[in-house]
Amino acid sequence: MTPITILTGFLGSGKTTLINQLIQQNPELKFGLIVNEFGEIGIDGQLIEDSGEEMVEISNGCVCCVVRKDLQETVKKLLDSGRVNYILIETSGLAEPAPVAQTFSMDDMDGQVNLDGIICLVDALNYTVTEQNYRIALEQMAFADIIVLNKIQEQKESEVKLLIDLIKKTNPEAALILNNEDINTKLLIDTGAWSIDKLTGTEESEDDHEHLHESEHDDHDEIEHKHEHHHEHDDVDEVVFVTQKTLDPSKLDKWLQTEFPKNVIRAKGFLKLQMQQGQGLFVFQMVGAGKSLKPFIPTRTNFDYNTSRIVLIGKGLDKKMILESLEKTVI
């Protein structure tokens, strides 16, 4: 049977980086990757280093809403390639892990696969703000078998301790790994950590919710039982800017400094900038209050060098205003 590991965690928590580490540290495994993005266009798949692994990208929606048959057919496509002996599913940062887990727990595809475990990445630097505005971050953490606490080197020791206490109260059964950028990924695969018992009821207690969201006590059960009808990502906006034109670095910098929407929780993209020495390709990342723009050299053969594209995700975004302001950054 081919093991399946589900990688969950909120937007920008570090799932794509972890996939690269898994591939690098486990060359004996032939990974099949299913990369799911909430956005209309895929960014993460191009950030995964090409080491010859098989990859399928699912964009424009969360994999938790994909019909079970469609998800199984995607897995079957990877298995039929004959070049895969371990499958990683990177869910969207807004996806609920339970429906994905149920897909393979209730049906092992005639003995072809088994769900090994669910890993949730938690961003220590941005978790407090995230959890206050996006309930899904808590649900992802509560459903995990293994929780990886990322970016701890960027936080004060006292704040990391508070977050560790929160994780243990929310999900006392999960294994907790502190990642200081040197994680041993062999602790994350072939663990046999998954138990179908998780699907029989919620792992969260009312005490956990009191600690986090006192106002949400009354609607907890309703959300748990009706989540298939309404997902939190239904309330999240996405703005996609795509252009064949080159961007002006000074105009882009001004946009980032003065016009970047305050209610964006995550943004990422590839931007072609006009530099003094010629055009340059950069990868843009924004998580929480942090923004970065770094030179980028693609490793995947199907990379589109001619198109700049950026995805912004948040609540209450003014799409028209954002697109108009970005249009002013091109040459």
Query: Which of 309, 240, 306 has the alpha carbon at shortest distance from 279?
Result: 306
Structure tokens at 151: 């970016």
Q: In the predicted model, is pLDDT for residue 211 greater than 60?
A: no
Neighbours of 43 (CB within 10 A): 22
Q: In the predicted model, is pLDDT for residue 206 greater than 50?
A: no
Query: Domain 2-226 maps to which CATH number in 1.20.1260.10, 3.40.50.300, 3.40.50.1370, 1.10.540.10?
Result: 3.40.50.300
Burial of residue 220 (number of CB atoms within 10 Å: 0-12, 13-18, 19+): middle
Residue recorded with tokens 């892990």 = 97
Give the tens place of pLDDT for each residue, 237-263.
999 999 999 999 999 999 999 999 999
Cβ atoms 203, 8 nearer than 8 A: no
pLDDT given at position 133: 78
Least confident of 66-70, 114-118, 167-171, 222-226: 222-226
Instruction: Mention every residue, 6+ apart, whose C-beta is less than 8 A from residue 13.
Output: 93, 121, 122, 123, 150
Per the model's pLDDT, the better-predicted residue between 204 and 164 turns out to be 164
HEC string of the chain? CEEEEEEEECCCCCHHHHHHHHHHHCCCCCEEEEEECCCCCCCHHHHCCCCCCEEEEECCCCHHHCCHHHHHHHHHHHHHCCCCCEEEEECCCCCCHHHHHHHHHCCCCCCCEEEEEEEEEEECCCHHHHHHHCCHHHHHHHCCCEEEEECHHHCCHHHHHHHHHHHHHHCCCCEEEECCCCCCHHHCCCCCCCCHHHHHCCCCCHHHHHHHCHHHCCCHHHHHHHCCCCCHHHHCEEEEEEECCCECHHHHHHHHHHHCCCCEEEEEEEEEEEECCEEEEEEEEEECCEEEEEECCCCCCCCCCCCEEEEEEECCCCHHHHHHHHHCCEC
- What is the rounded average pLDDT of the residues 62-76? 78
Q: In the predicted model, is pLDDT for residue 209 greater than 50?
A: no
Cβ atoms 292, 223 nearer than 8 A: no
Q: In the predicted model, is pLDDT for residue 300 greater than 80?
A: yes
Cβ atoms 15, 287 nearer than 8 A: no
If you compute the radius of gyration of the chain from its CA atoms, what whole number of angstroms results? 20
In CATH terms, the fold of domain 236-327 is Hypothetical Protein Yjia; Chain: A;domain 2 (3.30.1220)
- The structural domains of the chain, with segments of one domain joined by +, span 2-226, 236-327
